[in-house]
Structure 1
Amino acid sequence: MDDIPIPLPAQPARFMDRFRAHMRAKRLAYRTEKTYCLWVLDFIRFHKRRHPETMGAAEVDAWLSYLANQRHVAINTQKTALNAVVYLYRQFLERDLGELQFNKTNKGRRLPVVFSHEEAMQVIDAMNGVHQLVASLMYGSGLRVMEAVRLRVQDVDFSEQCLFIREAKGEKWRRTLLPHALLAPLRAQIDMALALHKRDLLDGYGAVYLPGALDKKYPKAATSSQWQYIFPAPNRAMDPRSQVMRRHHVGEQQVRRAMAAAMSRLDIRKKASCHTFRHSFATNLLKAGTDIRSIQELMGHTDVNTTMIYTHVVGAHARGVASPLDRS
Structure 2
Amino acid sequence: MSNNLPPSFPGPRLLDVVRERLRVKHYSIRTEKTYVTWIKRYIHFHGKRHPKEMGKAQIEAFLTALAVKRNVSAATQNQALSALLFLYREVLEMPLPWLDDVVRAKRPARLPVVLTRKEVAQIRSQIEDPRLKLIYDLLYGSGLRLMEAVRLRIKDIELERGAILVRDGKGGKDRITMLPDCLVDAISTQIRQAKALHDLDLSNGYGRVWLPHALSVKYPNAATSLAWQYVFPAARMSIDPRSGNTGRHHLDEKQVQRAVKPAVKAAGINKPATPHTLRHSFATHLLDSGYDIRTLQELLGHSDVKTTMIYTHVLNKGGRGVKSPLDTLD
Work out whether the TM-score is over 0.5. yes
* Stretch moving more, 129-138 or 57-66: 57-66
- 3-state SS of paired residue (1:164): strand
Shift of 1:88: 2.1
Which residue does 1:265 correspond to in 2?
266
Matches within 5 A, 1:10-159: 13-94=12-93, 95-98=95-98, 108-128=108-128, 129-159=130-160
Q: C-alpha root-mean-square deviation of aligned residues, in Å?
A: 2.5
Which residue does 2:213 correspond to in 1?
212
Q: 5+ residue gaps in structure 2?
A: 1-10
Report runs of 4+ in structure 1 exceeding 6 Å deviation. Answer: 99-104
Contact kept in structure 2, 1:74 and 1:108, CA below 8 Å? no
Which residue does 1:283 correspond to in 2?
284
Q: Residue deviations 1:118-154, cap 9 Å, x none?
A: 1112212211310000110011111121111111110
Q: TM-score, structure 2 length as denominator? A: 0.86
Contact kept in structure 1, 2:164 and 2:179, CA below 8 Å? yes
Q: Residue deviations 1:228-258, cap 9 Å, x none?
A: 1111222334445544332222111111111
* Stretch moving more, 124-133 or 75-84: 75-84
Evaluate the alpha carbon distance shift between residue 186 and residue 284 of structure 1 in structure 2; reply closer, same or farther with a 3 A threshold. Answer: same
Shift of 1:109: 3.8
Evaluate the alpha carbon distance shift between residue 48 and residue 110 of structure 1 in structure 2; reply closer, same or farther with a 3 A threshold. Answer: farther
Contact kept in structure 2, 1:229 and 1:248, CA below 8 Å? yes
Evaluate the alpha carbon distance shift between residue 15 and residue 165 of structure 1 in structure 2; reply closer, same or farther with a 3 A threshold. Answer: same
- 3-state SS of paired residue (2:194): helix
Contact kept in structure 2, 1:75 and 1:109, CA below 8 Å? no
Which residue does 1:222 correspond to in 2?
223
- 3-state SS of paired residue (2:249): coil
Shift of 1:164: 0.8
Contact kept in structure 2, 1:239 and 1:246, CA below 8 Å? yes
- 3-state SS of paired residue (1:98): helix
- 3-state SS of paired residue (1:207): coil
Which residue does 1:179 correspond to in 2?
180
Contact kept in structure 2, 1:74 and 1:109, CA below 8 Å? no
Shift of 1:14: 1.2
Which residue does 1:295 correspond to in 2?
296
Distance 1:24 1:44 in 2: 22
Contact kept in structure 1, 2:146 and 2:275, CA below 8 Å? yes
- 3-state SS of paired residue (1:175): strand
Distance 1:104 1:217 in 2: 39
Distance 2:103 2:210 in 1: 43
Q: TM-score, structure 1 length as denominator? A: 0.87
Count of matched residue positions in the alignment of Structure 1 and Structure 2: 317
Shift of 1:265: 1.6
Which residue does 1:249 correspond to in 2?
250
- Report the identity percentage: 47
Shift of 1:107: 7.2
Q: Residue deviations 1:31-82, cap 9 Å, x none?
A: 3333222222222222122111111111112222223333332222222222
- 3-state SS of paired residue (1:195): helix
Shift of 1:185: 0.8
Evaluate the alpha carbon distance shift between residue 93 and residue 110 of structure 1 in structure 2; reply closer, same or farther with a 3 A threshold. Answer: same
Distance 1:326 1:208 in 2: 60
Contact kept in structure 1, 2:85 and 2:99, CA below 8 Å? no
